Amino acid sequence: MLNNKETYKIGGMTCASCAKAVERVTKKLDGVESSSVNIATEKLNIEYDKQKVSFDDIKLAIEKAGYKVIKENNTKSLELKIGGMTCAACAKAVERVTKKLDGVEKSNVNIATEKASIEYDSSKVKVSDIKSVIEKAGYSI
């Protein structure tokens, strides 16, 4: 079982009954282990088996109940000083390995300043993961 714990912001809820409705429709989905809504924060905490149910299934069930899943912006920017680059091919290598990471949206390396500017989704990838792939490629941070 590949359990996935997620938190989603839910729009359109006005009361405790709304929160219960969202919980009810999500709990009915095959593969959902637990589902609870905090009406004060308007957030759904859900644990589910990714093999049995997808985010799209959850979103569709919530929308059919009259509510909506609001995508929260988890995009962050990071600037790293990269050591060991000697040419444009090195800069391209750093861009290539970082762009392969799930969650990295943009990666630009300036060989003159020896800096990498990276935009990433903090809910999918950690800074330590980004640093690790750069170091594995043979460069220092």
List, for residues 13-57, the tens digit of each pLDDT value: 999 999 999 999 999 999 999 999 999 999 999 999 988 998 899
The model scores a pTM over 0.75 = no
The full set of domain ranges for the chain reads 3-70, 75-136
List, for residues 109-140, the tens digit of each pLDDT value.
999 999 999 999 887 889 999 999 999 999 99
- Rounded CA-CA distance 64/15 in Å is 18
- Rounded CA-CA distance 73/129 in Å is 20
Per the structure block, which two tokens stand in for 117? 């500017």
- Residue range 73-91: mean pLDDT, rounded: 92
75-136 fold: Alpha-Beta Plaits (3.30.70)
Mapped onto helix, strand or coil, the DSSP state of residue 61 is helix
Is the domain spanning 3-70 CATH 3.20.20.70? The answer is: no
- Residue 82 CA, chain-centre distance (Å), reads 25
75-136 has the same fold as 3-70: yes
